[in-house]
Each structure stands twice: as structure tokens, then as C-alpha cells.
Amino acid sequence: MSTVLIIEPRSSGLELVTRAHELGHTVLVLTSGTEPGTVPDKADRIVTADTLDRAAALDAVRALHAETPLDAVLPGFEHFVELAAHTAAMLGLPGIDPAGVEPLRHKHRMRRALDAAGLDQPRYRAVSHARSAAAAHAELGPVCVVKPVDQSGSLGVRRASSAAEAVDAFRGALRAARVPGARGAGLVLVEEYVEGPEYSVEGYVEDGRTHILGITEKILGAEPHFVEVGHIVPARLKPSVSAAVRAYITRVLAAVGLGLGPFHAELRMSDRGPLLMEVAARLPGDRIPDLLRLACGHDLYEIMLRSYLGLPNPEPAAPRTGARAGIRYFLRPGLTEYREFRVDPLLASDPRVREIGVLLPPNIPLPDPGSSSGRLGYVLAAGASYRETAGVLHRAEQAVTFG
């Protein structure tokens, strides 16, 4: 089989390593080694380099390639899409065009690309000063959303209902924007607040064609934060709404210039139609690829590997009827520590429950629940219908306690 290099696998990138190993590939991982969970068990070799220093990382890969020729270079996490693009280009391997990667990594560039294409989206302003944040709120309010231009996992994203809240959220977003070398360093987006249910769209681009594999329904925690506490795949949508979402996202991907590989696009369905929140050239997080496999039979991990290896993917099969898969994460605002993770035996024995897990162990100080890093645990379930799966996830919220 092939030798693939995965840069900084985190979240779904960790499962990408496992899936590549299962498919018979030799899997190398490039990591700075400074983050927990970045050394997967299934990797055949770990190469250490400063992945936040592009020149140092490229030098390390160049030396590695001379010793062990690589067939593909893949990003293992959103922050390393740009590095993977430059690395693949350096080696003459399939990848995203480095010249066009900015709208896929930095949200202000994404917004400008959609403007240029004439696509409807939330009104926005990119600001670099607290005074500008207050002025943007006055223009876009009375309610707006403030977010970093280069982060993920809802980190630093907040609703603001006054100029003072916008300024406070601006400062929080700046603190959250910790990606060294980002072109958007020092910038924050202030956006129009969009009412409506939230969804994400999962798929891939190949030979200029957009293949949409599924639309995911989002369950969000309490505002002013926008933490995703659950997902159901596929979403329950009227055919007309599904068609509108698919057509809109196809135009979005053309606007931002994605030419290869998987994408994850988030939107809200407003009175004006679908409006983009963000789009990324990577695997979705939060186990969504696993939900997609369970409910629809689509293996986005394998699709990504084949895309970056320059191999064609088979035409996606028709989705299965009825089946749904979902995940529920647990937030406990106000809880600073817990000693015991308790699960109702009826939930634990339910055959539709596929996994129950802890993300933050007991007896440690718990982080602020204002981003995905504050989620304590999860239940993953699959059922024969939307109602069945949603019911299991709803019961899980009451059946799992932290004492």
C-alpha cells in the first residue's frame, strides 16, 4: 500500500490514523509533541518537528521524504490545513493549492470570497480594535456574534447584546486567537446574529465536482456561547430545504476554491435561506465521520485518504432510508469538579447505545464550559429512525450524572 504523512492528528485526525492503518497504509505522523493525544497508537512512526514553524516543518518533511518516500500528506486538524498544502506542493503530491488556502482557513477571507461571488451570508465586519467592535455592534446589532478569524471548536465565539458585551467578547476572541503566524492575527469578526436552526454539511470535492454525503443537525448549548452539544446524522429536513442547502453549499465551495478532499460547512437556515457560518477543508469533528458511517455507510476517512493519494473515489451510494446516528455531549455549567461519572443501567444496556465515554476525568478542575473543551463526556447512539435516535440522546442527558 502507500505511505501517508498526517500532520498533527487531533479530534477526527486521530481516527484518520487508525483508519489509514486498517486500510493497510504505512502511517507516519508529524507532530510538535506538545499537545496531549497527538501520538496515536496506530502510527507506524512519529516524526517530531515544530509544526508552527513552516520552514522547520518543511525541512523535517524534506529529510523524511528522502529517507522514506511519501505518497500523501494530509492535515490532521484544521490549523494545519495550510501547512499540509505547502508540504504537498513542495513534494509534488496531490493537495489543496497553497495559493488558495486562505479562504479555507481564515474566516474573514472566507467572508470576502463569498462577497466576491455574490452569495448571501451574515453581514459582518473584521475589526482590530475595541472601539471598532463597539461600532460594528451598533451597525449590525442589536444582537451580534463575535468570533476569532482562525479558531475552531466554538473557542472564543460569543453573542453580544450591547456595545459593552461586544467589546468584552472582542477581547476574549483576541485571547482565543492563538494560532501563530496566521494572516488574520489581531483580527476579530463581528457578525450579524442569524436566527434559525443550525446544520453542517459533510462531503468532498473531486475533479471539480462537489459530493454532499450528508447534512447534520446540530444541538447547541445555551447562549451566549455556541457550544455544540449534539449532532444527528442525517438531519430531518423537508426535501425543498435539503435541496436549498445543497445548492447553496455547492456555490460556497466554488467561491472559496476548494479543489480536493473533504469539507465541513456550517450554516443556519434563516428566513432568507441558508446562510454560512463557516467552511473548512478538513474532516468534521465530534465523531461526525463515525455517525456518517453508521447512518449512511459513507466512509469519509477513506475518501480523504484516496483524495490525497490521487485516487478516484467511487460514486457515493444512495443513502440508507430511515437510519440515524447521533451523539450527545454533556455540559454542566457551574460544576467545578466531580468525583463520579454515573450512568443509568437502563441507558447502559440499551442496544442502540454504541458508546458512553468520559472526556474530562474526575477529580480535576473543570474548564469553562464556553467551548468544546468544557464537555465532560458523551453518549453515541444509532437507531432505525430519527425519532428513535433523538429519543435515546434526549434520555441520555438525564441518565448521565456527574456527582
CATH architecture of 195-320: 2-Layer Sandwich (3.30)
Residue 35: predicted pLDDT:
58
Element (H, E) at 347: helix 345-348
Residue 315: predicted pLDDT:
87
Residue 181: predicted pLDDT:
42
Domains 195-320 and 322-403 alike in fold = yes
How do the pLDDT tens digits run along the chain, 403 residues long?
899 999 999 999 999 999 999 999 999 999 998 555 556 778 999 999 999 999 999 999 999 999 999 999 999 999 999 999 999 999 999 999 999 999 998 999 999 999 999 999 999 999 999 999 999 999 998 999 999 998 876 788 999 999 999 999 999 888 876 654 444 468 999 999 999 999 999 999 999 999 999 999 999 999 999 999 999 999 999 999 999 999 999 999 999 999 999 999 999 999 999 999 999 999 999 999 999 999 999 999 999 999 999 999 998 877 667 899 999 999 999 999 999 999 999 999 999 999 999 999 999 999 988 888 999 999 999 999 999 999 999 999 999 999 8
Residue 107: predicted pLDDT:
93
Task: Determine whether 317 is exposed, middle or buried from the number of CB atoms within 10 Å of its CB (0-12, 13-18, 19+).
Answer: exposed
Name which CATH class applies to 123-192.
alpha beta
Instruction: Please name the residues in contact with 15: beta carbons below 8 A apart, sequence gap of 6 or more.
Output: 289, 290, 301
- The pTM of the full predicted model, rounded to 2 decimals, is 0.93
Task: Determine whether 332 is exposed, middle or buried from the number of CB atoms within 10 Å of its CB (0-12, 13-18, 19+).
Answer: middle
CA dist., res. 354 & res. 277, Å (int): 30
Residue 322: predicted pLDDT:
86
Instruction: Please name the residues in contact with 258: beta carbons below 8 A apart, sequence gap of 6 or more.
Output: 96, 104, 205, 279, 281
Report the DSSP pairing between strands 209-220 and 228-233: antiparallel
Listed by start position, the domains of the chain span 3-101, 123-192, 195-320, 322-403
Residue 281: predicted pLDDT:
96
Q: With contact defined as beta carbons under 8 Å apart, do 201 and 298 qualify? A: no
Neighbours of 115 (CB within 10 A): 12
CATH topology of domain 3-101: Rossmann fold (3.40.50)
Residue 41: predicted pLDDT:
78
The letter for the amino acid at 357 is G
CATH of domain 322-403: 3.30.470.20
Residue 175: predicted pLDDT:
83
